[in-house]
Amino acid sequence: MRSGSGVWALLRMQWRTAWFWLLLSPTLLAALVVAIASGVKDLYGEETERTIYAATMGASPAQIAMNGRGYDLDVLGGIAAYEVGFMGQLLLPLVGVLLAVRLTRAPESNGVLELLTSTRVHRTAVPAAAFMSLVISWAVFGLGCWAGLVMLEYPATGSVGYSLAMAGFGLAWSGVGLLTAQVASTPRAANGLGLLLALAGYLVRMIVDSQNWPGVWVSPMSWVVEVRPWDDLRWPPLLSLLLLAAGGAAAAALGTANRDLGSGLLPARLGRSGAGPLLSRPAGLAWRSTRGAVLGWLMGAVIWVALLGLMTDDFTSTIAANPNLLAALGGKADDLAPQIGLLLASVMATAAGLAVTLRFASEESRARLGLLLSGRISRWGWWLGWNGLALFVTASVLMLSAAALGICQWWATGDPAALGDDLAAGSAFLAPALAMVGFGSLLIGVAPHLGFLSWGFPIWTLIVGMLAEILQLPGWARRFSPLDWVGHLPGETANGAAVLLLATGTAVAVLAGGYTLDRRDLLHG
């Protein structure tokens, strides 16, 4: 069989089965970019405001660490690109990796690829078709960004350059996802490896940029910034992003052709000859199945908030010198650094808990839960074991992150009260974080295939916390963030009634999910 045969057939199949995600993801991301650009135009319409922004943000190590190096910060396009920086470097790699794994490793894991390759479809056609689909998807994103920016009357040339840079950035991380799908043997491991590389790239860029070191080419996270589309468009960084994407696709094709179907380039480790006592209980099995993801989210959360805590003084002084930015972030300058740190900690703690909860759904959809339930433990036993661990993981990651933030703030400012304030705020944020995990449990109990909807709350919570004022979100939209119910902590008094309501809602959601699971038929894969 000729290499690459069946590409067009696979391309049609991918768009028939995954068109929703291939179109929805780039459309939502483009809408977010355009919404931020619209808010920036309203906030920094005057030249004096842009001058202040450039003078404060361009010289702040804390802001550079979060968003990257700023260029052309005295024009609207440069400010918009800078404001998108943090969210863009977080969400675009996430979407890029997830889409790539969904198109390649997922069909291989569920047995679809084996059926396809038994026909006139060569295995290398899978990454080739996936890469073509991803190019189309990110082209939709780029066109959406360009159209929105032009409608907002941003300069045409800069709009084109910026849209190309952002689309290339997303495609580059899709290339990374295509490669990790070959390295790992399961979709979950492939996603985890890709997101770990994204986190490592962000942290490397964060350190290099905040210290003003010359190594801007060390991390792909810097390449999108170095395109500098709003004044002096530079093509080498953009070409580097495209080469990374193409290189990932080529390496994926080579890996597909030189490994066994269903395996990864990294061989799976042999397990123990006998199971330990921990695996005899549901919570033990849940921990054994999800510990890699949990520890990854914990490490990312602690490192992220610790670095933010160490830069508290610089962050505070920068925000205080920029009235428009202070208004955009909607708080007091002294409180914004810990508020953002606790926001990130809450979102990442929720992600860690959802990693455990969603693994339960995977066990059911892959027809393994039925085998487990054939033993002595009931459905309620498995449900409470898995979800109990999910809630414990969420609380642990959040409180450890809050402690790391408080200790680093104490070190940076010399104020020991920072530790107590951050721990108290973290305790108050436990209720909304647990509520988001509880909502995921309820969805899985009702219908496991709806579990992906549980990611909506933490993502929206992050958007509300970082961009609510810039996007000019109405009050009702902000209320979909459970953290908004509790208040802006530290700096405000926690809403005790909201904390109690969210805690009660968590318990009700988990019990309702278990009740539904106990009375419905299991999926059979």
pLDDT tens digit sequence for 64-92: 888 888 899 999 999 999 999 988 999 99
Residue 525: pLDDT over 50:
no
pLDDT tens, position by position, 368-397 = 888 878 878 889 999 999 999 999 999 999
Q: What is the structure's pLDDT at 480?
A: 93
Using CA atoms, how far apart are residues 340 and 268, in angstroms rounded to an integer? Answer: 38
Confidence bin at 161 (pLDDT 50/70/90)? very high
Using CA atoms, how far apart are residues 15 and 439, in angstroms rounded to an integer? Answer: 30
> Quick one: CA torsion of 217, 218, 224, 228, rounded to 10 degrees?
-30
Q: What is the structure's pLDDT at 148?
A: 97
Mean pLDDT (the chain, rounded)? 89
Residue 507: pLDDT over 60:
yes
DSSP H or E stretch at residue 62: helix 61-67
Distances (CA, A) of 284 to 287, 356, 517: 5, 12, 21
Q: What is the structure's pLDDT at 437?
A: 97
SS3 of 232-275: the string is: CCCHHHHHHHHHHHHHHHHHHHHHHHCCCCCCCCCCCCCCCCCC
Using CA atoms, how far apart are residues 32 and 505, in angstroms rounded to an integer? Answer: 30
Higher-confidence residue: 169 or 521?
Answer: 169
Q: What is the structure's pLDDT at 55?
A: 86
Q: What is the structure's pLDDT at 307?
A: 87
> What would the two tokens of residue 7 be?
């590409």
Confidence bin at 330 (pLDDT 50/70/90)? low
Residue 123: pLDDT over 90:
no
Query: Which residues in 183-208 are b (16+ Cβ under 10 Å) and which e?
Result: bbbbbbbbbbbbbbbbbebbbbbbeb
pLDDT tens, position by position, 205-251 = 988 887 777 777 889 999 999 999 998 889 999 999 999 999 999 99
Rounded to the nearest angstrom, the gap between the alpha carbon of residue 66 and the centroid of all alpha carbons in its chain is 15
Tell me what percent of the residues of the chain surpass a pLDDT of 70: 97
Q: What is the structure's pLDDT at 251?
A: 93
Report H helices in 311-414: 312-320, 323-329, 333-365, 369-373, 379-413
Using CA atoms, how far apart are residues 313 and 15, in angstroms rounded to an integer? Answer: 50
Using CA atoms, how far apart are residues 91 and 87, in angstroms rounded to an integer? Answer: 6
Confidence bin at 493 (pLDDT 50/70/90)? confident
Contact yes or no for 67/82 (Cβ under 8 A) = yes
Residue type, 369: L
DSSP H or E stretch at residue 516: helix 496-519
Rounded to the nearest angstrom, the gap between the alpha carbon of residue 242 and the centroid of all alpha carbons in its chain is 22
Report for 47-51, 55-59, 221-225, 433-437: range of highest mean pLDDT: 433-437
* Stretch 344-363: mean pLDDT: 93
Q: What is the structure's pLDDT at 472?
A: 85
